C-alpha cells in the first residue's frame, strides 16, 4: 500500500515539476530577449511546439483517468459511471481545442472572442452540471466533486483571461507576468483534474499483477472503437485541416489526432505491462519513444515547406527530399519495435517494424497537395501504431470489483 502511494505521488510530482518548468520558461521567453530564443519550444503561448503538446496531453491524460471511472463503477452505479464518461469526453474535447486551436479558428470567422468562447462554455457547463449531480449522489464520489468544480472553474477563468487579453493592451513589461499567470492557471487546473481523476486508475500503482482495479482499462476495452473512429475521419480531417488558413501560427486538428493516437499507444503499452505478470521490466524505451513520436506530430511541421512553415526543413538523402517528420516517426517506430523484441513479442515486433518501414516510404512520396498528404500520412502511421498495439493485446482485462462506500 505504501509503495503504491509513493508511486502515485512521484507520478504526480513529475507532472507538477514539468508544468512549473514550462511556466517559468514562458515567463522568461516573453521578455523577447535574443538570449532566450532557445526556449521557444517551451513557450506555452505559442502553438505547434512542445509546450502546446504537453498542455494538450495533460488534458488527454486526465481524460484517460476519468474514463477509468466508468470501468470502476459500471457494475455498481451506472449513472455515476456514465458521469465519468461525460467528464472524460469534455476533457478530450478540451485537449482537441488546446492543440487544434478550435475556438481560435472559430474566432477568425469574425465571431469575436466572446462569441467564439460562449458555445464552448455552455456545453461545458451543461456537461459539468449533470455529471457533478450524479457524482454528488454517489457517496464514494462525493469528495471528488469539489475538486472537479475547482479545476473546471479555473479552466473557464482562463477563457475569460484570453478575452481580456484581446480587449486590454498592457505595457510590454507587464505582458510576461500576465502570460505566465494565465498559462500557469491553465496548467494548475489540469493538474487539479488529474489529481482528482487519478484514483480511478488505481491499478496503475498496484503491487499485485494483474491488478484488480482499472489501469487505462476503459481505453483498452474501447480500443477498436477508437481505431475505427480514427480510420473513418482520417482522410476528411486531413483534407479539412489542409484547407484552413494560418497554418504556421495556429494548431492543426489532424495533428491532434495523430499525436493523441501515439500517446494512447503508449498508454496501451503501459496497460499491457500492468496486466502481464511475466512482463520483463517496465517498457520505458517503448513508452518514451511513442511519446516522442506524439511530440513530433506537433513540434515538427508536416511538409517542410518554408513558404508555409518558415522554420521548416526537409532531409536530403541520395537525391531525395525526405519528409523530416515521417523519417523521425519511422525511427521512433523502429525503437518501439526493439522494445517489444526484448519482451520476445515477435508479432508485435514485426508489425512495428512494418509501420516504421511504411513511414520511411511515405517520407519519399510527394503529391499535388503536399499539405494534405503530410497530415494524412502522419495519421496513417499513428493509426497503424495504435492498431498494432491493439492487436498485440488480446487478453481481456479483469473486471474490477470496486464497491461503493
CA distance 238 to 267: 24
Rounded Cα gap, residues 209 and 281, in angstroms = 13
Encode pLDDT of 15-51 as tens digits.
999 999 999 999 999 887 777 888 899 999 999 999 9
Question: Binning pLDDT at 50, 70 and 90, where does residue 341 land?
Answer: confident
Indicate the pLDDT class of residue 2, thresholds 50, 70 and 90.
Answer: low
* pLDDT of 230 above 90: yes
* Lowest mean pLDDT across 130-134, 281-285, 366-370, 386-390: 366-370
- Closest to 240 in 3D by CA, of 259, 264, 256, 260: 256
Give the integer Cα–Cα distance in Å for 262 and 381.
9
The whole-angstrom separation of Cα 266 and Cα 191 is 20
pLDDT digits (tens, 9 = 90+) for 263-287: 999 999 999 888 877 767 788 889 9
- Pick the more confident residue, 6 or 150: 150
Structure confidence at residue 169 (pLDDT): 78
The confidence score (pLDDT) of residue 170 equals: 76
Cα–Cα distance for residue pair 361/301, rounded to 1 Å: 18
Residues 284-337 have pLDDT tens digits of 889 999 999 999 999 999 998 888 998 888 888 777 789 999 999 999 999 998
pLDDT at 270: 92
| pLDDT score of 399 more than 60 | no
Mean pLDDT of the chain: 88
Evaluate if residue 218 carries a pLDDT over 50: yes
- For residue 394, the model assigns a pLDDT of 59
Q: How many angstroms separate the CA atoms of 169 and 154, rounded? A: 23
Question: What confidence score (pLDDT) does residue 346 get?
Answer: 80
Contacts of 23 (CB under 8 A, 6+ apart): 44, 180, 183, 184, 187
pLDDT at residue 181 is higher than 60: yes
* Predicted TM-score (pTM) of this structure: 0.92
Whether the per-residue pLDDT at 405 is higher than 70: the answer is no
Q: Coil, strand, or helix at residue 206?
A: coil
Q: What's residue 4's pLDDT?
A: 65
Give 396 or 353, the one with higher predicted confidence.
353
pLDDT at 363: 92
R_g of the chain, CA atoms, integer Å = 21
User: Is the per-residue pLDDT at 239 higher than 80?
Assistant: yes
186-203: per-residue pLDDT in tens? 999 999 999 999 999 988
What average pLDDT score do residues 89-101 get? 94
* Cα torsion 29, 35, 37, 39: sign: negative
Q: What does the alpha-carbon distance between residue 252 and residue 372 come to, in Å, rounded to a whole number?
A: 12
pLDDT at 111: 64
How confident is the model over 123-160, as pLDDT tens digits?
888 989 999 999 999 999 999 999 999 999 999 888 77
pLDDT of the residue at 374: 94
Distance CA 364, CA 226 (A): 29
Residue 114 has pLDDT above 70, yes or no: no
Amino acid at each position: 500500500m505504501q509503495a503504491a502511494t509513493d508511486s502515485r505521488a512521484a507520478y504526480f510530482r513529475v507532472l507538477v515539476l514539468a508544468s512549473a518548468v514550462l511556466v517559468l520558461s514562458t515567463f522568461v521567453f516573453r521578455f523577447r530577449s535574443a538570449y532566450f530564443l532557445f526556449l521557444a519550444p517551451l513557450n506555452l503561448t505559442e502553438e505547434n511546439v512542445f509546450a502546446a503538446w504537453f498542455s494538450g496531453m495533460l488534458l488527454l491524460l486526465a481524460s484517460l483517468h476519468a474514463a477509468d471511472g466508468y470501468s470502476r463503477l459500471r457494475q455498481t452505479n451506472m449513472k455515476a459511471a456514465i458521469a465519468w464518461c461525460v467528464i472524460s469526453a469534455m476533457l478530450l474535447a478540451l485537449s482537441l481545442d488546446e492543440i487544434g486551436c478550435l475556438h481560435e479558428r472559430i474566432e477568425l470567422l469574425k465571431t469575436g472572442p466572446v462569441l467564439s468562447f460562449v458555445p464552448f462554455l455552455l456545453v461545458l457547463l451543461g456537461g459539468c452540471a449533470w455529471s457533478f449531480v450524479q457524482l454528488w449522489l454517489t457517496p464514494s464520489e462525493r469528495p471528488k466533486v469539489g475538486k472537479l468544480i475547482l479545476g473546471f472553474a479555473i479552466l473557464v477563468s482562463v477563457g475569460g483571461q484570453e478575452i481580456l487579453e484581446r480587449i486590454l493592451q498592457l505595457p510590454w513589461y507587464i505582458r510576461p507576468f500576465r502570460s505566465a499567470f494565465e498559462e500557469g492557471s491553465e496548467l494548475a487546473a489540469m493538474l487539479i483534474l488529474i489529481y482528482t481523476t487519478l484514483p480511478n486508475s488505481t491499478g496503475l500503482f498496484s503491487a499485485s499483477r494483474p491488478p484488480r482495479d482499472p489501469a487505462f482499462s476503459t481505453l483498452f476495452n474501447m480500443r477498436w472503437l477508437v481505431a475505427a473512429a480514427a480510420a473513418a475521419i482520417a482522410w476528411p480531417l486531413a483534407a479539412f485541416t489542409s484547407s484552413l488558413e494560418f497554418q504556421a501560427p495556429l494548431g492543426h486538428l489532424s495533428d491532434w489526432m495523430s499525436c493523441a493516437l501515439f500517446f494512447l499507444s503508449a498508454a496501451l503499452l503501459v496497460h499491457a505491462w500492468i496486466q502481464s505478470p511475466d512482463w520483463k521490466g517496465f517498457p520505458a524505451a517503448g513508452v518514451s519513444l511513442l511519446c516522442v513520436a506524439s511530440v513530433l506530430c506537433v513540434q515538427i511541421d508536416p511538409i517542410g515547406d518554408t513558404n508555409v512553415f518558415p522554420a521548416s526543413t526537409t532531409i536530403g538523402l541520395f537525391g531525395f527530399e525526405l519528409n523530416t517528420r515521417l523519417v523521425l516517426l519511422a525511427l521512433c517506430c523502429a525503437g518501439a519495435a526493439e522494445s517489444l523484441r526484448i519482451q520476445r513479442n515477435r508479432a508485435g515486433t514485426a508489425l512495428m517494424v512494418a509501420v516504421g518501414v511504411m513511414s520511411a516510404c511515405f517520407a519519399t512520396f510527394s503529391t499535388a497537395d503536399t499539405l494534405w498528404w503530410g497530415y494524412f500520412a502522419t495519421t496513417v502511421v499513428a493509426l497503424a501504431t495504435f492498431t498494432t498495439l491493439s492487436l498485440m493485446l488480446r487478453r481481456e482485462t479483469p473486471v474490477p470489483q470496486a464497491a461503493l462506500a
